[in-house]
Structure 1
Amino acid sequence: MGWAGIVVLGLVVGFAGWFFHPLRRASGPAGGGLALAVAAALAGAALAKAAGRATGLFYDGELIEWPVCTAGALVLVAGLVALRARR
């Protein structure tokens, strides 16, 4: 998966994580949190890809790269949407 795959994965995970998060409704207007969730998902997927390559866990194109990048994106989205809803 190249960087284009990271962007697509980040967009999908960011939107889905924002839409399905139970604390999203408590955060007020719906518009502001979506951009934060997508940015967090992009950052999480990119960080997971960089960390996996730096540690030698995987290289470009290996199957384990997808679930690791997805998990990294989901963790950041869940945390940031929950923190935004609590302020």
Structure 2
Amino acid sequence: MGWPGIVVLGLAIGFAGWLLHPQRRAAGPAGRALVLAIVAALAGAALAKAAGRATGLFYDGELLEWPVCTAVAFVFVVVSMALRARR
């Protein structure tokens, strides 16, 4: 998975995380919360990819890259949406 795959994964995880988050209505206007969720997912997936390659956990195209990037992106979305809903 190259960087275009990370972008597609981040967009999908950000939208799904925003849509399925239980505190979505408490997070404020839909436009800002959706953008925050997508940016958080993109940042999480990119950070996981960079960290995995830097530590040697995986390389481009390995099977372990997908679940690690997906899990970290979901965690970033959940944390960002929860912090936004607490305001």
Q: TM-score, normalised by structure 1?
A: 0.97
- CA RMSD across the alignment: 0.6
2:78 equivalent to 1:83: no
What is the distance in 2 between the residues matched to 1:51 and 1:73? 13
Q: Corresponding residue for 1:30?
A: 30
What is the distance in 1 between the residues matched to 2:46 and 2:30? 25
Q: Corresponding residue for 2:42?
A: 42
Gaps (5+ residues) in structure 1? none
Structure 2 counterpart of 1:29, which letter?
P
When the two structures are aligned, how many residues end up with a matched partner?
A: 87
Q: TM-score, normalised by structure 2?
A: 0.97
Q: CA deviation at 1:48?
A: 0.1
Look up the SS of the partner of 1:22 in the other structure: coil
Instruction: Output aligned runs, 1:11-30, within 5 Å.
Output: 11-30=11-30
What is the distance in 2 between the residues matched to 1:29 and 1:60? 37
What is the distance in 2 between the residues matched to 1:28 and 1:69? 27
Q: Corresponding residue for 2:8?
A: 8
Gaps (5+ residues) in structure 2? none
What is the distance in 2 between the residues matched to 1:39 and 1:83? 14
Q: CA deviation at 1:30?
A: 1.4
Structure 2 counterpart of 1:83, which letter?
L
**CA distances 1:9-63 after superposition (whole Å, capped 9, x unpaired):** 0000000000100011112321110000000000000000000001100000000
